[in-house]
Structure 1
Amino acid sequence: MANSSDARESRAPAGLVRTLRSGIGRVSEEVIEEIQNRIPEYARREDELYIKVLRTAVEQAIEGFLDRVENPDAAWDPEPFRMVGKGEAAEGRNLEPLQTALRLGARVGWRRLTEIADPLGLSPQCLYDLGETIFVYLDQLADAAAEGFEEARARAAGEIERRRGRLLDLLLSQPAASPDAIADLAKAAGWRLPRTVACVALDDLPGGGVPGGSGPGGSGPAQARRGAAYRMPALPPDVLAGLERTTPCLLVPDPSGPGQAQMLEHGLRGYWGAIGPAVPLAAAATSLRWAREALELSRRGVLPRGLPRCEEHMATLVVFKDEELVNALAEARLAPLAHLRPAQQDRLAETLLAWLRHGRGAGEVAARLHVHPQTVRYRLRQLEELYGDQLADPDVRFELEIALRARQAMNKDLRGAGGRA
């Protein structure tokens, strides 16, 4: 028994394809006219090269259809229409105008068939079969164009990502790259040059520890490099990501702009890291350096876990910039407490820091420490005995506050290390 395609072919008069081929030129002009009248994206009548490309595509489509009618079982090459889809992507359009153009072309072709149906003696069944062939062929053209379109879009997106990766490397390079080189690469990457930026250093804990979780079962930058599933941060496309760097990082344009703080908080929910200060674009590497230092202090427990902002902890960052110097200062300024028992040292150090930070009244210090004012007065008398006239010297008080803040932070560090052990 003959298959359906053989049946359709046997019902098509022998002169049908020959007649249709002789009218390809006229039908092509009708299709082009219809497309340009109805689809604004293709109405480029003065562009001779564009018209030539459009005419070639229309004629290829018609020739392909006639080949299908003449030999339904012949192999079909989708590549020409994959190229059409790639061209649409290159023009920056979506596929809607092309799909409309295909439907218009099919309508003109069907109109031409109905015009010659009577002269050629085409039966209703033959017209039905030809109509079905048109719709099947139309779907194949659309599918081929969509494949080419998606392939071109994916390649373009990959190239943009590569350019943005190179741009991030350039922005974070030391010494700084020239402004012209940065501007050229930013333009190629489709990235608007901001006035200020801030870098975010993301945690990559050893041994499988991850942002937003603990142990090897989570997901984070470390897992991304190991090939495991990784949830990318939900951030706008203008945020440059360097998740494959030794310290995974982000570069955020205009971090002080409206809604930027909320964007980071929402997009990085569940991540651990540190947010560097806002700096001019040329100083992006400086923001990343401070973010890395804040991240390290956060890991140690000196700064809070989560996403501490350098701008909110500048004093701590400055204090810990040279720990050897701070330790020497602490040893000198806290020497009067050295002979006391550890518990006594802690109580007096806490009281002295509160007194330096919050005022010299026993009532206010007591409220800050949640102890009785009389207890504070007793401790302050002890401190006066230990330090004597030194507490009246503004320079000594300043150095004492630095030393006591560092001591407090180091105690947090030690407690955190004990908890992680």
Structure 2
Amino acid sequence: MDVIRAHLPELAEEMLGEIQASVPEYARPGDEKYVTAVRRAVEEALRLFLTRAADGGSRPGRMTEVFRAIGKGEAYEGRPLDSLQAALRICARVAWRRLALSAETLDLSRQGLCGAGEAILVYLDEIAAAAAEGYAEAHIKVAGELELRRRRLLDLLVADPPPDPRAVEDLARAVGWPVPKTLAGVALAARTSGTGSRAGPSRTPAGRDGVTPGPSAPPDAPARPTLPPDVLSDLDRSDPYLVVPDPGGPGRTAMLDGALRGWVAVLGPPVPVHEAAQSLRLAREALGLARRGVLPSGRVVRCADHLATLIIFKDEALVRVIRRVRLAPLRALRPSQRDRIAETLLAWLQCGYNANEVAARLHVHPQTVRYRLRQATELFSDQLASPDDRFELEIALRARALSLRAAPDAGR
């Protein structure tokens, strides 16, 4: 090993040059401090190799300690382990090449040359294993710390009142999360066989958001979704949720539909970052309606598509009063007749009082529509003259139709 000891500085320089030329992660020619650190690591590796060779390989303690520390450092720096392993192989290759070129000058026998080569390979295996062990240990710790910071960022985003924007920016920078212009909360619940079906009314107490929750989730929760790294999630709480940046971006809806199979999921409205709590609150309210069957729950439900329904069900006690007052004329009818008149009258109000459009929507003959409308006009004549009365009547009819979707008998 005399050739390595005699030429250690220039050998270290040659190794450093080849590492920087071949491994992009270590190519920082303008960063003198970083280059010096890499050079010292190379020189330390050479010195440890010479010490190990002199001791006959009997004391690996210091070597293992050093390369475990190097592996940990790479994990903390966020570089892949492959880069470190590639650098170690380059060092071994350069050492072997220099030894082979000097073999004749040093009058090394073939046996001596083979022994030196074997010592280099054994050393490479041992330091690579020590570095990998340190890297794996630190990587687990780094991943855990990163996940904790992402959870903290998630909690901060949906805090009410909103946090200081600087606190959000600092924590987002620490976890590598680009702060978007808009985001949306996604409320989640495990899908059950009864979710979204026309089941009877639930007797479960109302949840925190004031909306009666649907059936409780089964013991076997759905598979954890595979989500892009910019989607923040907390799936371990009783009311799991996500925060999705740029929810209106290309492919975002399709991504959520694919990732959240097995979940009832509601995407809140897109909002600025400081309004994330409001987006999540609306998503949770809509989730309660989806689980009751008021809103469809086959795919990801978008709050933006159901704002009128959210308004109607915001105060269900008030809506029950409106229905009782405005739909009183229907009580005198048979249930089947009551349904036909209510359905036709609602479609007529929504279609701008055009009987032909009502007929096309309900798939019935225009004459049938006109007959039903004559009945409806007789029943509701005092409510159809005033715009305010017509508005309340439409609210009542909409609420009735939505309630029938969730629970046909209870809705009547």
| TM-based fold match above 0.5 | yes
Residue by residue, what CA displacement relative to the aligned partner does 1:155-210 show, whole Å, maximum 9, x if unpaired?
A: 3232222111101111111222111222221122211111211110001469x999
Q: RMSD value over aligned CA atoms? A: 3.2
Q: Does 1:411 align with 2:397?
A: no
Tell me the percent identity: 51
Q: Give the residue type in structure 1 aligned to 2:184.
A: A
Deviates further, 341-350 or 264-273: 264-273
| 1:58 aligned onto 2:50 | no
Residues 366, 376 of structure 1: 8 Å contact kept: yes
- 2:333 is aligned to 340
Relative to 1, partners in 2 of residues 1:342 and 1:57: Cα closer, same or farther, differing over 3 Å?
same
**How many angstroms apart in 2 are the aligned matches of 1:114 and 1:408?**
87
Alpha-carbon distance in structure 2 between the residues aligned to 1:83 and 1:110 = 25
Question: Displacement of 1:334 after TM fit?
Answer: 0.5
**Bigger Rg, which one:** 1
**Worse overlay, 41-50 or 143-152:** 41-50
Q: Distance in 1 between matches of 2:95 and 2:145?
A: 40
Measured after TM superposition, the shift of residue 328 of structure 1 is: 0.4
Residue 139 (structure 1) aligns with: 125
Query: Would the alpha carbon gap of residues 377 and 37 (structure 1) be closer, same or farther in structure 2, given more than 3 Å must change?
Result: closer
| CA 1:229–1:327: 2 relative to 1, 3 Å | closer
**Structure 1 residue aligned with 2:151:** 165
| Counterpart code for 1:353 | L
1: CA distance, partners of 2:133 / 2:334 = 76
Q: 1:42 to 1:147 in 2, by over 3 A?
A: farther
Provide the secondary structure at the position in 2 that maps to 1:193.
coil
Q: Offset of 1:351 from its aligned partner?
A: 1.4
SS in 1 for 2:229: coil
Aligned twin of 1:27: 8
Deviation at 1:42, TM superposition (A): 5.2
How far apart, in 2, do the equivalents of 1:263 and 1:82 lie? 40
Unaligned runs of 5+ in 1: 1-16, 212-220
Contact 2:190/2:222, CA 8 A, preserved across alignment: no
* Residue of structure 1 equivalent to 2:139: 153
50-59 or 356-365: bigger deviation: 50-59
Contact 2:223 2:262 in 1 (8 A): no
Shift of 1:44: 4.9
1:309 aligns with one of 302, 315, 324: 302
Matched to 1:39, the amino acid is Q
1:378 alignment counterpart: 371
- 1:204–1:248: 8 Å Cα contact kept in structure 2? no
The verdict on how the C-alpha distance between 1:370 and 1:182 changes in structure 2, with shifts beyond 3 A counting, is same
- Number of aligned residue pairs: 386
- Select the structure that is richer in helix: 1
TM-score, length-scaled by structure 2 = 0.82
| 1:7-34 CA distance string (max 9 Å, x none) | xxxxxxxxxx6x46xx626324322334
User: SS state of the match for residue 314, structure 2?
Assistant: helix
2:387 aligns with 394
In structure 1, the partner of 2:252 is 260
C-alpha change, 1:66 and 1:370, in structure 2 (3 Å) is: same
CA distance in 2, matches of 1:340, 1:230: 45
Aligned-pair distance for 1:287? 0.5
Within a 5 Å distance, the mapping from 1:21-420 to structure 2 comes to 24=5, 26-36=7-17, 39-40=20-21, 41=26, 44=29, 47=32, 50-51=35-36, 54-64=39-49, 66-68=51-53, 70-72=55-57, 74-75=59-60, 77-111=63-97, 113-114=99-100, 117=103, 122-204=108-190, 231-306=223-298, 307-415=300-408
CA drift at 1:136: 2.2
Q: Pick closer, same or farther for the CA change 1:398–1:158 going to 2, 3 Å.
A: same
- 1:46 and 1:368 map into 2 onto residues whose CA distance is 71
Q: Is the 8 A contact 2:158 2:276 kept in 1?
A: yes
CA pair 35-356 structure 1, distance change in 2 beyond 3 A: same
Cα distance change on mapping 1:125 and 1:45 into 2, 3 Å = farther
CA offsets 1:310-356 (integer angstroms, 9 cap, x no match): 10000000000001111101111111111222222111111111111
For the Cα contact (< 8 Å) 1:36–1:44, is it kept in 2? no
Q: Give the Cα separation in 2 of the matches to 1:68 and 1:129.
A: 11
SS at match of 1:202: strand
CA gap of 1:45–1:123, structure 2 versus 1, over 3 A, is: farther
- Aligned residue type for 2:272: P
Structure 1 counterpart of 2:49, which letter?
G
Q: What 5-or-longer segments of structure 2 have no aligned partner?
A: 197-215
Say if 2:266 and 2:284, in contact at 8 Å, map to a contact too.
yes
One-letter amino acid of the structure 1 residue matched with residue 7 of structure 2: R
Q: Secondary structure at the match of 2:288?
A: helix
- Distance in 1 between residues matched to 2:71 and 2:348, nearest whole Å: 73
Higher relative contact order (CA 8 A, sep 6+): 2
Structure 1 position 366, deviation (Å): 2.4
Q: Aligned equivalents of 1:370 and 1:116: distance in 2?
A: 94
| Matches of 1:138 and 1:278, distance apart in 2 | 54
Within 2, Cα distance between the matches of 1:300 and 1:411? 11
